[in-house]
Amino acid sequence: MHELPDQADAHLVAQYEAYPYPKRDPRDEGKRLILGSPGHLREIDHWVFGAHRPRSQPLRALIAGGGTGDATIMLAQQLASANRPGRVTWLDRSEAAHGIVRGRAAARRLTNVDFQLVSLLDLPGSGLGPFDYIDCCGVLHHLPDPAEGLRALVSVLAPGGGLGIMVYAPHGRTGVYMLQDALRLLAPVEEAPPARLDVARRVMRHLPETAWLRANRYFSDHIDGGDAGLYDLLLNPRDRAFDIPRLFALLDSAGLTPTCLLEPLRYDPATWLPDPRLRARAAALPPMQRAALAEALTGNMSVHVVYCTRTAEVPPPPDALAPDAVPLAREMPAAELAKHIQPDLTLPFLFDGLRAPLPLPRLAAPILRLIDGARSVAEIGAELAKRGIDQEAFARDWRGTWEMLSGVNRILLLPPA
Ligand SMILES: C[S@@+](CC[C@H](N)C(=O)[O-])C[C@H]1O[C@@H](n2cnc3c(N)ncnc32)[C@H](O)[C@@H]1O
């Protein structure tokens, strides 16, 4: 068993026993499936494996710091619904969360989930794994040493596998850390979690008008998350935010390279720089600096979701221009997406309050209406050819449609059977 390295970590254990995160009730499983990133099967297929890994190959997934089970249940259900082989291992050290995720899996009669009530720091040499996909959402930034945590995960990553990680980002959390400072004084971390929560609720009731969290209009975790959410946001014994340079340095320290930051267009400064001279300057920067520029410019990112692989094993990017490529919608059906295209051929998109009208080519709507996760690019082209659309125009407009809609994680590629 790994020694608890410090007091903050002992308080973190107490927090997630008192307030397993996020608050979930197994009885709700009959009503809805919670979807998110990272850990969505279509994203893993596309962004981790470049849509090259056959669907028939069993997927061994680890959800490290899985909490009450959102990613575990989503991925296990998606595998089961698609009749795909693989198992999902939930791992966490919260007994309270363990009870809830087991209840959720049982409510769905999922038989492809395993449970490990251990610390992720104990993974090296544990005999667990190897795993083709490792998910770690909202966990590394709470650890005493995030780089040690990430190395522990990589120690059980199978050759050719990849990770999906979420860490907090600083600018979109403006106001959070000031209130954490205030609450450390008003509700010392040594006090019992319910007493601390009561103090936080009282503080929120009379938050001074100038408190930055009040001005932070697009950040609502403290409003939506109930007790577990408020505690996690304002009373967490340790959380640190990673800006892009820090995130890349963290990944690099574990020998990892990003294959995708979600959503890619959000991290492309060109999306936010209409001025051609500025675009040219931004385009000349290396990839990490381009993403850092987008982060600093937009100022509203509160998390980073990144998929990554070992630096020596980055797969070739998904090839959407190949005739046998099969595009599919992540969730909202492509035909439905087409309905949102405006008369000026833009698709309105919102990134945490930041509007981005995505320019689409003329044939985007007819192409989207033919995307059903079964037709290949060649078949879509052939269908449009019957309607008198020439192949050159189709190829050009498919490329333009793809660049925009994969850039917002809406249209991805289906891997081979
Ligand atoms: C903010 S919650 C995130 C839960 C889940 N991943 C999600 O995004 O909904 C953080 C989780 O990490 C777990 N955790 C923290 N340190 C851990 C460790 N060393 N090993 C395993 N789990 C840990 C906590 O118990 C808690 O359930």
Q: 93 CA distance to ligand 1 centroid (A)?
A: 8
**Residue 234, burial from CB neighbour count under 10 angstroms (0-12, 13-18, 19+):** buried
Q: Within its chain, how far is the Cα of 305 from the centroid?
A: 4
- Testing ligand 1's pocket by substitution, the residue of 9, 19, 21 carrying the most ligand atoms inside 8 A of its CB is 21
Q: Which atom of ligand 1 is nearest to the CA of 20?
A: 27
Question: Which residue has its alpha carbon closest to ligand 1 atom 19?
Answer: 119
Q: What DSSP designation does 211 have? A: -
Q: 23 CA distance to ligand 1 centroid (A)?
A: 13
What pLDDT does residue 221 have?
A: 66
Q: Which atom of ligand 1 is nearest to the CA of 135?
A: 6
What pLDDT does residue 2 have?
A: 52
Inter-axis angle of helices 7-18 and 95-107, nearest 10: 40
Q: Which atom of ligand 1 is nearest to the CA of 66?
A: 6
Q: Within its chain, how far is the Cα of 125 from the centroid?
A: 28
What pLDDT does residue 217 have?
A: 79
3-state secondary structure of 413: strand
Residue 167 is inside which H or E element, if any?
Answer: strand 157-168
Q: 239 CA distance to ligand 1 centroid (A)?
A: 12
Residues with CB under 6 A from ligand 1: 12, 16, 21-22, 65-67, 70, 92-94, 97, 119-121, 137-139, 142-143, 232
What pLDDT does residue 324 have?
A: 97
Q: 297 CA distance to ligand 1 centroid (A)?
A: 30
Nearest-5° angle of CA 46, CA 67, CA 102? 95
**DSSP calls for 352-405:** TTEEEEEE--TTHHHHHHH--SSS-HHHHHHHHHHTT--HHHHHHHHHHHHHHH
Q: 269 CA distance to ligand 1 centroid (A)?
A: 32
Residue with tokens 């890349």: 248
What pLDDT does residue 220 have?
A: 74
Question: Which residue has its alpha carbon closest to ligand 1 atom 14?
Answer: 65
Question: Which residue has its alpha carbon closest to ligand 1 atom 25?
Answer: 94
What pLDDT does residue 224 have?
A: 73
Per-residue pLDDT 10s for the chain (417 aa) are: 455 468 999 999 999 999 999 999 999 999 999 999 999 999 999 999 999 999 999 999 999 999 999 999 999 999 999 999 999 999 999 999 999 999 999 999 999 999 999 999 999 999 999 999 999 999 999 999 999 999 999 999 999 999 999 999 999 999 999 999 999 999 999 999 999 999 999 999 999 999 999 988 777 766 777 899 999 999 999 999 999 999 999 999 999 999 999 999 999 999 999 999 999 999 999 999 999 999 999 999 999 999 999 999 999 999 999 999 999 999 999 999 999 999 999 999 999 999 999 999 999 999 999 999 999 999 999 999 999 999 999 999 999 999 999 999 999 999 999
Q: 320 CA distance to ligand 1 centroid (A)?
A: 36
Instruction: Please state, in angstroms and rounded to a whole number, the distance separating the CA atoms of residues 401 and 403.
Output: 6
Q: What number of CA atoms fall less than 13 Å from residue 221's CA on the CB side?
A: 18
Q: 177 CA distance to ligand 1 centroid (A)?
A: 20
Strands 411-414 and 326-329: antiparallel
Residue 251 is inside which H or E element, if any?
Answer: helix 244-253
8 Å CB contact between 102 and 115 = yes
Residue with tokens 């001005």: 215
Which two structure tokens, joined as six digits, stand for 24? Answer: 């979930």
Q: What DSSP designation does 232 have? A: I
Q: Which atom of ligand 1 is nearest to the CA of 22?
A: 9
The overall pTM is greater than 0.85: yes
Q: 140 CA distance to ligand 1 centroid (A)?
A: 8
Give the other-Cβ count within 10 Å of 88's Cβ: 31
Instruction: Please state, in angstroms and rounded to a whole number, the distance separating the CA atoms of residues 350 and 79.
Output: 29
